[in-house]
Amino acid sequence: MKVLLFGGFLGAGKTSSILSAAKFLVENNPTAQASNPETPSLVIIENEVGETGIDDKILKAEGLMVRELFSGCICCTLTSELTVTLNELYEAYDPQWVIVEATGMAYPHRIAETIHTYGKGVESLKNIIVADAERWEELTEIVPGLVEGQIAKADLIFLNKIDCMQPETLSEIEKNLHHLNPSAQIYCVSAFRGINSEIWSEAVLGNE
C-alpha cells in the first residue's frame, strides 16, 4: 500500500484536495486500477473530532470507499485504532493507495511515525500539508506552534486558496514556508478551482 497522509488546519481545504487526489489516482494511474472490481484500489480513512462526520459524506458521494475514525484525534487517542484499521485494510483488500485525512489539530508527522512502525504492507508514505493562504497571517498569529509544527515536518506542502490572494502576498507566504521547511516541495493550488493532473503526477507519482 502507498499512503498519502493529508494534514493542515481546519478549513484549509483538505477534503477538496483529497477528492482531487483520489480522482487522479483512480482515473489516471493505471497501477491503481483493481484487477477485481469488488476490491477497492483506493481507500480513504477519514478522521473527525466528534460523533458524526460531514466531509466523509462528500467523499462517499463520489463512490470512494471511506473508513471513519471518530471521537478523537488520530495523533492522540486513536493512534492504535488507525493502525488496526490500516492493517485490516491491508489484509482484507491490499489496496494500491490509502489516503488518511487527519484533523486540523493533528501533527501528521507523529501519525507517520506510527504508520511506519506498526503499519503492515506500507510501501511508501507521503506527508502532505494543505496550508491556508487566505488565513496564513491569522493562523500563524493565533496558533503558530501548530501551524509551523505541521509545516516543518511535511514532505509536500500545498499552498491552497491562491485564487483569493495577490501575487506579492503569495510570494511572501512561499518564502515563509521555505524558511520553515527548506526540503519540502511546495505547490501553489486552488482546490476550489481544481488541482491539475500534472501537479498530482509530480507530487504523488514522481518517484515511481
pLDDT tens track for 123-144 = 999 999 999 999 999 999 999 9
- The residue with greater pLDDT, 72 or 3, is 3
Residue written as grid cell 480513504: 44
| CA-angle at 63, arms to 103 and 105, nearest 5° | 0
- The residue with greater pLDDT, 111 or 51, is 111
- The residue with greater pLDDT, 117 or 58, is 117
Residue ranges per domain, the chain? 2-205
Banded pLDDT at 105 (limits 50, 70, 90): confident
Question: Contact 96/2 with Cβ under 8 angstroms?
Answer: yes
Query: E strands along 64-180, which residues?
Result: 65-69, 97-101, 124-132, 156-160
In the predicted model, what is the mean pLDDT of residues 112-120? 89
Those residues with Cβ within 8 angstroms of residue 198's Cβ, 6 or more apart along the chain or in another chain:
none
Q: Tell me yes or no: is domain 2-205 CATH 3.40.605.10.
A: no
